[in-house]
Amino acid sequence: MDYVSTRNKAARVTAAYAIANGIASDGGLYCPTGFPALAAEDWEALAGMDYKGRAACILGKFLTDFSAEELADYAAKAYADEKFGGADTAPVVALGGGRNMLELWHGPTCAFKDMALQMLPHLLTASLRKTGETRTACILVATSGDTGKAALDGFHDVQGTKIMVYYPVDGVSPMQKLQMVTQEGGNVEVVAIRGNFDDAQSAVKRIFTDEKTREELDRDGMMLSSANSINWGRLAPQIAYYVSAYCDMVKGGAVEMGEKINICVPTGNFGNILAAYIAKRMGLPVNKLICASNRNNVLTDFFKKGGAYDRNRDFYTTTSPSMDILISSNLERLLFFASDYDDKLVAELMDKLARGGSYQVAKDVFAKIDADFDAGCCDDRAAAETIRTLWETEHYLCDTHTAVAVRVYEDYRVRTGDETPVVIASTASPFKFCRSVIEALGGTLEKDDVTQLDVLTALTDTPAPSPLAALAGRPPRFERVVDKADILSTVSLLRDL
């Protein structure tokens, strides 16, 4: 399988090259040139496998320059039972009303980013080897909270890599911040920026396309790479859990093999839901992909207003910070796929986005997108109500991001009458957003963030995940705050790691 940039499909590269480099030098995102189909015998084999086997199998369809043995070895390490608290890596929990919660937060940092970022270091180090790369890979990460910690956990002390994380100083939850600033490891750096996630992401993209920075790093034996979902190596492992969920649902009798499901995903950068779209293109029986947003509803408008994307709007800080995003990077890949790989068109739209902050997708392309997707949004109050209702009626505790998806799905079902069984991506442990969840349940907040975990445990009789409880008393290692205009200068910190 070859890969091409969304903005220039003339040059074909291998999966290893795409993963090692993260983003194409023209600013485009690497995409596979086709969708490998899952045949009936694939489904049969997948059904009999554990999560590690399923992940290795799906990755093998896309990463054809990796051997089956390599991928099986990485999957065994990435999804080791001791990292994911047991054999069920991504369990499906059935609720009433045909709702199936796909819990993606049983990994070491308690958010779905672990599903990909425990795998990426293995893929990246192998990709460097396969492409004959001898320089140190410097991974730059812009985070709205969860990617930062998951990437730090995945890459700390990994040979041949350094990692630098940028987070918006007032844009992450207290627990997310504590997780990042206490990170151990000799090859890590964490920087807070005065700005929001979009500022951080734009700055990182700017560093990537800055020739001078690249040359200077090259002279010092370093190269840039990415652990954001702009990197194909981040996206590919995410396809597996949708396939795995379907296998589990068939096994458990929730659906018959071949019966369609809906998938609803709380969305920010559009990576997670794009993985579900790719699974659909491979043959996963999906009726609608439902894109759920918080008050930053640029994507809802895009889907509802005939493909008009417009980031010129107010930015809100919400109780679901990992979705506080106005530039959803992976939408670029959807445009590429839906337009049958029209690189000129994508380059033109992305240029419009960069210059004026908006673009309009052509009718025929949007018609294809519209056939696959539905969308909705809800505000913090509706999300809080949902957390409370779900707890009171189903005794199911969910976090603020997942609550957005549950609410948007509910609205969708009422609006359309569509009763197709649904998979709702549950993207974070509720303990990661303790403060908001306690408030939603009507509990009383404590001052200290780690003590807050005990409050939620007392309220719900649910134990806090051990990686979060272990943060108590850990001193912060990183306290640097920079203006967004000065991000480029922080690249020099990489030299000292």
Ligand X SMILES: *Cc1c(COP(=O)(O)O)cnc(C)c1O
Catalogue the active-site residues.
113
271 binding ligand X? (CB under 6 A): yes
Shortest distance in whole angstroms from residue 207 CB to ligand X: 20
Shortest distance in whole angstroms from residue 33 CB to ligand X: 23
Cβ contact 267:296 at 8 Å: no
By beta-carbon proximity to ligand X, the closer residue of 16 and 398 is 398
Shortest distance in whole angstroms from residue 265 CB to ligand X: 7
Rounded Cα–Cα distance for residues 232 and 32 (Å): 9
427 binding ligand X? (CB under 6 A): yes
> Considering only 164-172, 269-277, 478-486, 487-495, which stretch makes contact with ligand X by CB under 6 A?
269-277
The neighbouring-strand residues paired with 31 are: 4
> Considering only 9-17, 92-100, 201-209, 260-268, which stretch makes contact with ligand X by CB under 6 A?
260-268
- Judged by CB under 6 A, the residue of 14, 201, 318, 322 near ligand X is 322
Instruction: Specify the 3-state DSSP secondary structure of 360.
Output: strand
Shortest distance in whole angstroms from residue 70 CB to ligand X: 26
- Judged by CB under 6 A, the residue of 9, 205, 280, 401 near ligand X is 401
409 binding ligand X? (CB under 6 A): no
Rounded Cα–Cα distance for residues 264 and 181 (Å): 32
Rounded Cα–Cα distance for residues 404 and 266 (Å): 6
By beta-carbon proximity to ligand X, the closer residue of 113 and 407 is 113
Shortest distance in whole angstroms from residue 432 CB to ligand X: 7
Rounded Cα–Cα distance for residues 429 and 414 (Å): 27
**Host H or E run for residue 479:** none
Token output for 318: 């919400």
**Closest CA relative to residue 263, chosen from 292, 222, 240:** 292
Cα end-to-end span (Å), the chain = 36
Cβ contact 481:192 at 8 Å: yes
Strands 99-103 and 92-94: what pairing?
Answer: antiparallel
Shortest distance in whole angstroms from residue 237 CB to ligand X: 12
Shortest distance in whole angstroms from residue 63 CB to ligand X: 20
Rounded Cα–Cα distance for residues 284 and 165 (Å): 35
DSSP 286: E
Amino acid at 118: Q
Residue with tokens 């399923």: 54
Q: Which of residues 75-134 bind ligand X (CB under 6 A)?
A: 111, 113
Rounded Cα–Cα distance for residues 293 and 270 (Å): 10
Rounded Cα–Cα distance for residues 171 and 183 (Å): 19
By beta-carbon proximity to ligand X, the closer residue of 71 and 424 is 424
By beta-carbon proximity to ligand X, the closer residue of 299 and 487 is 299
Shortest distance in whole angstroms from residue 358 CB to ligand X: 20
By beta-carbon proximity to ligand X, the closer residue of 110 and 255 is 110
Token output for 39: 């045949």
By beta-carbon proximity to ligand X, the closer residue of 46 and 58 is 58
Counting every residue written for the chain, the total comes to 497
The neighbouring-strand residues paired with 161 are: 137
Binding mask 2-31 for ligand X (x = CB under 6 A): ------------------------------
323 binding ligand X? (CB under 6 A): yes
> Considering only 48-56, 262-270, 304-312, 350-358, which stretch makes contact with ligand X by CB under 6 A?
262-270
- Judged by CB under 6 A, the residue of 30, 270, 366, 409 near ligand X is 270
Binding mask 224-243 for ligand X (x = CB under 6 A): -----x--------------
269 binding ligand X? (CB under 6 A): yes
* Burial environment of residue 484 by CB neighbours within 10 A (0 to 12, 13 to 18, 19 or more): middle
At 259, give phi and psi (nearest 5°). Answer: -70, 140
Size of interface with ligand X, in residues (CB under 6 A): 16
By beta-carbon proximity to ligand X, the closer residue of 136 and 267 is 267
**Closest CA relative to residue 163, chosen from 201, 142, 189, 143:** 189
> Considering only 50-58, 68-76, 265-273, 487-495, which stretch makes contact with ligand X by CB under 6 A?
265-273
Which residues of the shown chain bind ligand X in the complex (CB under 6 A)?
Answer: 111, 113, 146, 229, 266-272, 322-323, 401, 427-428
